């Protein structure tokens, strides 16, 4: 499995440019960090950086037939480039958008992401780690190992079993799910009082749209949760395990859940 990691203008100036925003790691160090992460994930990566919009468009076009997916930080072109958006749509490869800084807390002109409209996954404000998280997510999607989790009261799960599918709750447009790694930070108190079941869902077997949307409170760093806009058929549910926490409120991961890296 091979991914193309693209970086836009001024990312080559990392370490020098606005270190309070982008940190002190330089571009070479960033690539070494991503390469090490890719190795751990068992995926291949090629890198490309350009300060010019057209070259980035060409690089995206060249990814077709050569790569299984694209990780892209279009930098300033994020907020201006319809050409990069169109190129991503044209090749239609699984794509993840990365921003080192939390653009959601910055200037108004950074609040639109054209490229992001063609990316299923978004990693914003996670620094260098966002790139590796993006590779991990894409590798999960391409290999078919990606699962999204949904916790629900045991009684509701029995009802869904009888219906043969899980539906969004009445009055809700979607079923709120989480990637596995977010469950390590879930608030146990939310589930206290009655037994809950944790479902592992294969998003590839869900026909309804699955949109990864920021569900974090406005003051927090963005966190993108998979929202399923329609039913989850029984055939898409690959595991159903009890939702359990230890005495300190930490999630007790059930060994039956697929072995995606957890953070
Ligand atoms: C950036 C955010 C952009 O708004 C900015 O123009 C960049 C870098 C980031 O990684 O945080 O150059 O994409």
Asked if 118 and 93 touch (Cβ cutoff 8 Å), the reply is no
Report the separation in Å between the CA atom of 189 and the middle of ligand 1, taken as the mean of its atom positions: 36
Report the separation in Å between the CA atom of 10 and the middle of ligand 1, taken as the mean of its atom positions: 9
Report the separation in Å between the CA atom of 23 and the middle of ligand 1, taken as the mean of its atom positions: 12
Report residue 232: phi and psi, to 5°: -105, 115
pLDDT for position 263:
42
226 - beta bridge partners?
212
- Gap between the Cα atoms of 86 and 192, Å rounded: 46
Instruction: Spell out where the chain has E strands.
Output: 2-7, 44-49, 69-73, 95-99, 121-124, 148-153, 165-166, 175-176, 178-179, 196-201, 210-214, 224-228, 232-233, 237-242
- Write down the catalytic residue from 22, 77, 121, 131: 22
Q: Residue 175, SS3?
A: strand
Low-confidence ranges of the chain (pLDDT < 50): 261-263
Q: Hey, what's the torsion of the CAs at 13, 14, 20, 25, to 10 degrees?
A: -150
Active site residue 22: yes
pLDDT for position 28:
98
Report residue 37: phi and psi, to 5°: -65, -40
Report the separation in Å between the CA atom of 167 and the middle of ligand 1, taken as the mean of its atom positions: 38
- Gap between the Cα atoms of 165 and 163, Å rounded: 5
pLDDT for position 182:
87
Q: What is the pLDDT of residues 179-217, one digit of tens each?
A: 988 888 888 999 988 999 999 999 999 999 999 999 999
- Write down the catalytic residue from 4, 67, 77, 99: 99
Mutate which of 5, 12, 75, 106 for ligand 1? The one with the most ligand atoms within 8 Å of its CB, which is: 75
Listing DSSP states for 88-150 in one string gives: HHHH---EEEEESS-GGGS-GGGS--TGGGG-SEEEES-TTHHHHHHHHHHHHHHHT---EEE
Active site residue 122: no
**Other CB atoms within 10 Å distance of the CB of residue 58:** 14
Question: Tokens at residue 196, please?
Answer: 């809950």
Ligand 1 pocket residues where CB is under 6 Å = 10, 73, 75-76, 78, 99-101, 103, 110
Q: What is the pLDDT of residues 131-167, one digit of tens each?
A: 999 999 999 999 999 999 999 999 999 998 888 999 9
């Amino acid at each position: 499995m091979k991914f193309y990691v693209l970086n836009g203008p001024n990312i080559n100036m990392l370490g020098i440019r606005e270190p309070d925003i982008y940190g002190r790691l330089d571009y070479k160090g960033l690539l070494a960090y991503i390469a090490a992460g890719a190795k751990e994930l068992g995926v291949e990566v090629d890198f490309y950086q350009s300060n010019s919009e057209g070259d980035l468009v060409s690089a995206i076009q060249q990814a077709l037939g050569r790569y299984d997916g694209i990780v892209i930080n279009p930098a300033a072109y994020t907020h201006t480039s319809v050409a990069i958006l169109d190129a991503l749509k044209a090749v239609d490869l699984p794509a993840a958008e990365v921003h080192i800084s939390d653009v959601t807390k910055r200037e108004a002109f950074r609040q639109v992401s054209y490229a992001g409209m063609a990316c299923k996954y978004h990693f914003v404000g996670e620094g260098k780690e966002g790139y590796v998280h993006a590779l991990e997510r894409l590798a999960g999607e391409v290999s078919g190992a990606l699962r999204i989790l949904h916790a629900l009261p045991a009684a509701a799960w029995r009802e869904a079993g009888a219906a043969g599918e899980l539906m969004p709750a009445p009055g809700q447009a979607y079923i709120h799910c989480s990637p596995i790694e977010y469950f390590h930070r879930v608030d146990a108190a939310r589930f206290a009082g009655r037994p809950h079941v944790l479902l592992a869902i294969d998003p590839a077997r869900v026909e309804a749209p699955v949109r990864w949307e920021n569900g974090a409170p406005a003051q927090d760093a963005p966190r993108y949760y998979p929202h399923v806009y329609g039913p989850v058929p029984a055939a898409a549910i690959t595991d159903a395990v009890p939702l359990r926490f230890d005495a300190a409120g930490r999630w007790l991961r059930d060994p039956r859940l697929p072995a995606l890296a957890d953070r």
